[in-house]
Amino acid sequence: MSAIPTIAAAARAIAARRLSPVELIRACIGRIEKHQEVLHAFVALDLERAIAAARAAEARILRDGPRGPLDGIPIAHKDIVDVAGLPTTACSRILAGNVATRDAAVVRRWAEAGAISLGKLTTHEFAWGGPSFDLPTPPARNPWNPDHFTAGSSSGTGAAVASGMILGGTGSDTGGSIRGPAALCGLAGIKPTYGLVPRTGVIPLAWSMDHVGPLAWTAEDCALLLQAAAGHDPEDPGSAARPAPDLVSGLGDGVKGLRVGVVRHFHEADVQVSPATRQGIDAAARIFADLGAELRDVTLPPLAEFWAPGMTLLLGEAFAVHGPWLRAQRAAYGEILRERLLLGALVTGEHIIAAQRLRRRLAGEVAAAMREVDLLLTAAAMGEAPRIDAVDPWIGFRTPSLTLPFNLTGQPAMTVCAGLGEGGLPVAIQLAGRPWEDATVLRAAHAYEQARGPLKRPGA
């Protein structure tokens, strides 16, 4: 197999019996053998079980046809997501030797849909501290240039999908941990509406802002993965007790008539993104207009107003998660996460409550602005990936985040690749929709990708 296909293309080929799940798995394993030593995308491989599953899928599909578009599709899971029988370490010494005894909800759902897991993917320590060079395993590296950062915390998922080791994978997003790696690795990645995908079996970082979602090569692939993961799970108290919406059937309906609000001040005034990122957003706006959408500028509260309560809640909740471990085995953490978490001691109950009050106000202001538009368009990242050895571990404390606002509001937000910048690395746009309108975000992202045209994978 010369090129790794998208999930949608592979599903069509498998259904038509032009592609064997065994052949597809072997192609992905070939990519792992070629790139893992440099990219460090995986922390645990489960290849024998994957090949056996592919053989079983092949026999079943030949007999009965595929269960659906994920049947026989190679995927993998971030190492904060439990896969029964495999270690869940969060890439931390704290959880050395921890082996999951049951599957996370998202793992079970993707497996029931026929997806085949190749193993566990590198994460920043406990989905927050990185890139760290003092953990049991090294940080993932960017397939577009291994000297550069993947962003995080779903760093291994970004590296593995971009390099064709897998066709899609799980990420988690508390402040941008799906959308950041998707942006810097040239992928699509969606943080769904809060409550759409259960977090059961996923190690928390900050319960009120944690989301689980997919990264994949295209928005269409994200839709297929998200559809299979979505739906209520009573074991997660943050899971919404409502039916999962249809995220797939309207994917090709285009954007004609949609109102797209460009949040220009986010990326032009509140922070300064790279020229290529700005050009990518402007080009995306023109594409949406050409496709029949109505474009207008939208003003939201400044990024800094989201940043302060967002960081307060992230730190306060993470301190509650990690306090017992910090007190018992503080030296076992990597330096970056340990020092970030220690700062949680400065967050008081008064700060948490004030942050929640601000959060409610901000969510109301965004909801009011979105009565006039169906989608928001802005940047997903400041620009191309920096060198991995030049990442400021305190950047999140110095500069407002472009992604964090939508963790606070809980609305769906998605990164899509907008091409390559001057350094030959990806730049990205971010689209956000109203809560529970994930399908609209995916539809717009798909329409944009169709108009933008296909991208070559790194090294292709």
Partner 1 sequence: MPAPTEDPFTRAGLPLDAAERTRLGEPARLLEALLARVRDGAGQGEPAVIFVPPAAKRP
Tell me, yes or no, if 177 is annotated catalytic.
yes
Query: Within its chain, how far is the Cα of 75 from the centroid?
Result: 14
Q: How far is CA 218 from CA 43, 66, 288, 446, in A?
A: 24, 21, 17, 8
Binding span for partner 1 by CB under 8 A among 30-38, 51-59, 112-120, 236-244: 236-244
Query: How many C-beta atoms lie closer than 10 Å to residue 369's C-beta?
Result: 16
Lateral strand order in the sheet of 42-45: 42-45, 116-121, 74-78, 168-173, 211-216, 188-191, 413-420, 426-433, 375-379, 259-262, 294-297
Question: At its nearest, how many Å lie between partner 1 and the CB of residue 151?
Answer: 20
The interface with partner 1 within residues 402-431 (CB under 8 A) comprises: 410
Query: Taking contact as CB under 8 A, which single stretch among the options 120-128, 267-275, 305-313, 448-456 is the one that binds partner 1?
Result: 305-313
Residue from 156, 180, 435, 458 touching partner 1 (CB under 8 A): that is 435
Catalytic, 153? Answer: yes
How do beta strands 413-420 and 168-173 pair?
unpaired
The Cα–Cα gap between 160 and 104 comes to: 20
Contact between 355 and partner 1 per CB under 8 A: yes
66 or 175: whose CB is closer to partner 1? 175
Q: Which residue has the tokens 């706006």?
A: 285
Longest dimension (CA), the chain: 62
* Nearest distance from C-beta of residue 457 to partner 1, angstroms: 37
Contacts from 321-327 at CB under 8 Å and sequence distance 24+? 321/126, 321/204, 321/205, 321/206, 322/126, 325/94
Binding of residue 176 to partner 1 (CB under 8 A): no
Number of residues this chain uses to bind partner 1 (CB under 8 A): 42
The answer to whether residue 387 forms part of the interface with partner 1 (CB under 8 A) is no
Catalytic, 256? Answer: no
**Residue 364 interacts with partner 1 (CB under 8 A): yes or no:** no
Please report how many Cα atoms fall inside a 13 Å half-sphere around the Cα of residue 131, on the Cβ side: 23
E strands in 20-163 = 42-45, 74-78, 116-121
- 60 membership: H or E segment, kind and range: helix 47-64
Check binding of 304 to partner 1 (CB under 8 A).
yes
Contact status: 307 vs partner 1 (CB under 8 A):
yes
Catalytic residue among 117, 132, 153, 239: 153
Contact call for residue 271 and partner 1 (CB under 8 A): no
DSSP lists the bridge partners of residue 294 as 259
The residue range among 93-101, 161-169, 193-201, 215-223 that interacts with partner 1, by the rule CB under 8 A, is: 193-201
Instruction: Determine which residue in the list 357, 387, 389, 459 makes contact with partner 1, applying CB under 8 A.
Output: 357
| Coil, helix or strand at residue 112 | helix
Residue 382 CA from chain centroid, whole number: 17
Residue from 3, 17, 134, 242 that binds partner 1 (CB under 8 A)? 242
Which CA distances in Å does 8 have to 16, 154, 300? 12, 22, 36
Stretch that binds partner 1, among 13-21, 251-259, 323-331, 417-425 (CB under 8 A): 323-331
Annotated active-site residue in 92, 155, 163, 177:
177
Residues that bind partner 1 (CB under 8 A): 193-195, 240-242, 304-305, 307-309, 311-312, 315, 323, 326-327, 330, 339-340, 342-347, 350-351, 353-358, 360-361, 394, 397-398, 410, 435-436
Residues assigned a catalytic role = 78, 153, 177
